[in-house]
Structure 1
Amino acid sequence: MPQMLFIVEPVGQRAERGRAAGEAVYQRMLDFTAELQAEGLLLGVNSLGTAAKRLAKRDGTAQVWDGPFAEAKEMVGGYFLLDTEDPDVALAWAERCPAAEWATVEIRGVGPCYM
């Protein structure tokens, strides 16, 4: 199963960083993306926005909550989907990821929900 690197970062960190510093770390992430592409490992990558909604449907009724969510201390800021079934390969790339310096990189296999 492919491996996904989730970038889990503190809420508000992007705004506190400021534009110039944000552009600098973004360039580092683009360079990391290019390394994954050069190795033929990258299946997908994206940064995720900070605005969010949540939906739950119970007994046929949907309930929607607008974010940001007060109880949240972290958010998934983005992901890299890697073309490897080896979690050790994904872990090695997670260690090279620049975001590991200011966030947490979570590694998960991607596959059917029954696995």
Structure 2
Amino acid sequence: MQYMLLIVEPQGQRRTRTPEEGRAVYGQMLAYTESLKARGVLLESNSLREKSARLKVRDGRRSVTDGPFAEAKELVGGFFLLDCPSREQALGYAAECPAAAWAAIEVREVGPCYE
């Protein structure tokens, strides 16, 4: 089964880090990524920038709003897509993620939208 680990962090948190702290965090996340690769469970991963856009199409009209959005207190800062046999194993991998020290890790099973 596939599971998505979403790194849900407080909006603006990255800007509070010094460059040295940012590089240290990045190094921890790279090491975690490599450990998932070595265990053969990582399908994809990446970090997401804070700047975003929200698209809505209603009655054929497109509306785009640039973010980050003031009403949002948290944002998805990155993700890991894993292939592992159980939710419990996915939760175990999430618990190992260095980001769990400063963010929430949301674990979601991947599946069709009609289920």
What's the TM-score once normalised by structure 1's chain length?
0.97
* Cα distance in 2 for residues equivalent to 1:12 and 1:18: 13
SS of alignment partner, residue 27 of structure 2: helix
Structure 1: which 4+ aligned runs deviate by more than 2 Å? none
* Cα distance in 2 for residues equivalent to 1:77 and 1:68: 12
Matched, 1:3 2:3: yes
1:85 is displaced (CA, Å) by: 4.0
Matched, 1:73 2:73: yes
* Cα distance in 1 for residues equivalent to 2:70 and 2:48: 18
Q: Which residue number in structure 1 is paired with residue 34 of structure 2?
A: 34
Query: In the TM superposition, what are the counterparts of 1:47-86 in structure 2 within 5 Å?
Result: 47-86=47-86
Greater CA drift, 80-89 or 28-37: 80-89
1:45 is displaced (CA, Å) by: 0.4
* Cα distance in 1 for residues equivalent to 2:12 and 2:19: 13
Aligned length: 115
* Cα distance in 1 for residues equivalent to 2:85 and 2:40: 13
Q: Match of 1:44, as an amino acid?
A: E
Cα-Cα RMSD: 0.8
SS of alignment partner, residue 70 of structure 1: coil
* Cα distance in 1 for residues equivalent to 2:4 and 2:89: 11
Task: Extract unaligned runs of 5+ from structure 2.
Answer: none
Task: Extract unaligned runs of 5+ from structure 1.
Answer: none
1:112 is displaced (CA, Å) by: 1.2
The percentage of aligned residue pairs carrying the same residue is 56
* Cα distance in 1 for residues equivalent to 2:83 and 2:26: 22
1:60 is displaced (CA, Å) by: 0.7
Matched, 1:15 2:15: yes
Q: Match of 2:108, as an amino acid?
A: R
* Cα distance in 2 for residues equivalent to 1:83 and 1:16: 33
